[in-house]
Structure 1
Amino acid sequence: MPPALIFDVDGTLAETEELHRQAFNQTFAAAGLPWHWDRALYRRLLAVAGGKERLAAFVAAQAPERAGEVDIPALHAAKTARYTQMIAAGAVTLRPGIARLLAEARQAGVPVAIATTTSLPNVEALLRATLGEAGPGAFAVIGAGDVVPAKKPAPDIYAHVLRRLAIPASACIAFEDSTIGLAAARAAGIPTVVTPSLYTDEDDFTGALAVVSDLGDPQAPYRHLAGAGAGDGMVTIDTLARWSAAVEGRRSP
């Protein structure tokens, strides 16, 4: 079995990006800023990882006249407060199969970790809202936010998590939903399962270990899109172990 499972958060653990978009727009309105990010624009902005970085890129490209007057860290902090309130109110649930796979990993003694560019308060709010107050403690390592200077697609956050886990990259499986997340995990040497999300369904996932609609649950098995294995079913610890063994077999001389 894979020694560790490493999860991205936004779009992977839960479909959160639409909530982030709404929180940004509410924050802009409250601050008296004449900005509104529609879905098409937000899809393009997601090419920049990290909320503060995304906001800075938008200001630089679309509102350079505001560059000297917008306090990006403060604006992002206000957005984070709105987002965490929405999460705490139950605005999202985990994607299909996530809770089941986490339970399987716990029962099998497989450590789970998080590698994300979103801020730690966002992560902890989501985990508490969906897994209970003990949710954050279910993860051996949570790599989030600004713990590393370079955001995805740089592999830094994965390298950080691997160091904390003390497990080689080739022995792990990562879960991502986007091209930039896949690039980060692959650059760190980690085989990656992709579950495309609302804003990443048109991304290019070449190089993924497998691409599936979701991880599946007993009521709604996943739809297999590309990569390892074949057919429908559920992505289980045993499934991942087979896929991981196949990767190792291809690496062996």
Structure 2
Amino acid sequence: MAAILFGSISTLADTSEIQRQAFNDAFAAHDLGWTWERKDYIEMLASNGGAARIAEYAHSRGEEVDSAAVHSTKSEIFQKLLANSDVDPRPGVVETIADAKKHDVKVGLVTTTSPENVNALLGALTAVDVDLFDVVVDSASVSQGKPDRAAYMFALGRLGENAKNCVAIEDNVGGVAAAVAAHVRCVAFPNANTVGGDFSAAVETVDRLDADRLRSLTEGNR
């Protein structure tokens, strides 16, 4: 394995419920009278993009909102919530990154969330330092969000690596689709709110990362 590519901030730490709280707090701040219950939110996670999700929900209710403004508020709230939360690495993440460094395997974070959200997560997650990543892709890096493959193509170009020698870790269906479209083997690592998704496009689905298993997925290709 030449590189392991973490596909979202929630592959490092499960922030999904913090995200949902931030959405609901943003709705309150904009006097929308909306509340996304967990069941409803889980169904919405089949698609990527918070602003688009807000716009689609408003349309379903026959309402007009400034989805970009609401999403901007949501992001500000999310970052503040992270700063005041106890955020732990997901199972196997710290060990997998340490193993990668030991075996001269590059590590990337390939997300299309904002740079501010990435910084907020890595600031709260003290066990995973930004310096451990050989490339960090965010919404400022590419114009297309997932499930488009653009973020992965950008990462592969920056790393100078062939897709067949890399493994992606993704926690949502759209992320898996993006990795597969870039011809990167993808391991699904669903979070608490995406665990019911259809991850059949991934090579396997796990609830804990195992460094030896990940390295074995590209044996003979490097």
Answer whether TM exceeds 0.5 for this pair: yes
Q: Would you say 1:123 and 2:118 are equivalent positions? A: yes
Which residue identity does 1:178 align to in structure 2? Answer: N
Aligned to 1:65, the other structure's residue is in SS state coil
- Report the equivalent of 1:26: 25
Q: Tell me how far 1:10 sits from its aligned partner.
A: 4.1
How far, CA to CA, are the matches of 2:148 and 2:108 in structure 1?
18
Q: Tell me how far 1:165 sits from its aligned partner.
A: 1.1
- Report the equivalent of 1:232: none
How far, CA to CA, are the matches of 1:29 and 1:180 in structure 2?
28
- Report the equivalent of 2:152: 158
- Report the equivalent of 1:221: none
- Report the equivalent of 2:63: 65
* TM-score between the two structures when normalised by the length of structure 1: 0.81
1:115·1:158 contact (CA, 8 Å) conserved in 2? yes
2:85·2:124 contact (CA, 8 Å) conserved in 1? yes
Aligned to 1:131, the other structure's residue is in SS state coil
Matching residue within 201, 214, 218 for 1:240:
214
The within-5 A match list for 1:151-190 is: 151-190=145-184
Q: Tell me how far 1:38 sits from its aligned partner.
A: 0.7
Matching residue within 74, 94, 98 for 1:79:
74
How far, CA to CA, are the matches of 1:138 and 1:39 in structure 2?
33
Once the two structures are superposed, residues 63-101 of structure 1 have per-residue CA deviations (whole angstroms, 9 ceiling, x without a partner) of x332xxx33222222111111111111342110111111
2:91·2:207 contact (CA, 8 Å) conserved in 1? no
- Report the equivalent of 1:148: 142
How far, CA to CA, are the matches of 2:111 and 2:98 in structure 1?
21
Once the two structures are superposed, residues 96-117 of structure 1 have per-residue CA deviations (whole angstroms, 9 ceiling, x without a partner) of 1111111222232221111112
Q: Would you say 1:199 and 2:193 are equivalent positions? A: yes
How far, CA to CA, are the matches of 1:141 and 1:206 in structure 2?
27
How far, CA to CA, are the matches of 1:73 and 1:146 in structure 2?
16
1:49·1:117 contact (CA, 8 Å) conserved in 2? no
1:155·1:185 contact (CA, 8 Å) conserved in 2? yes
How far, CA to CA, are the matches of 1:40 and 1:57 in structure 2?
17
Once the two structures are superposed, residues 7-66 of structure 1 have per-residue CA deviations (whole angstroms, 9 ceiling, x without a partner) of 02243211111110000101111221111111121112212212222222222223x332
Deviating 4+ runs (over 3 angstroms): none
Gaps of 5+ in 1: 216-234
1:50·1:145 contact (CA, 8 Å) conserved in 2? no
RCO (CA 8 Å, sep 6+): is it higher in 1 or 2? 2
The within-5 A match list for 1:5-20 is: 5-20=4-19
Gaps of 5+ in 2: none
How far, CA to CA, are the matches of 1:130 and 1:10 in structure 2?
10
- Worse-matched range after superposition: 19-28 or 76-85: 76-85
Which residue identity does 2:56 align to in structure 1? Answer: A
Once the two structures are superposed, residues 155-187 of structure 1 have per-residue CA deviations (whole angstroms, 9 ceiling, x without a partner) of 111111111111111110100122211111011
How far, CA to CA, are the matches of 2:117 and 2:36 in structure 1?
20
Work out the number of aligned pairs and report it.
Answer: 222
1:45·1:58 contact (CA, 8 Å) conserved in 2? no
What RMSD in Å do the two structures reach over aligned CA positions? 1.9
How far, CA to CA, are the matches of 2:28 and 2:188 in structure 1?
34
2:167·2:217 contact (CA, 8 Å) conserved in 1? no
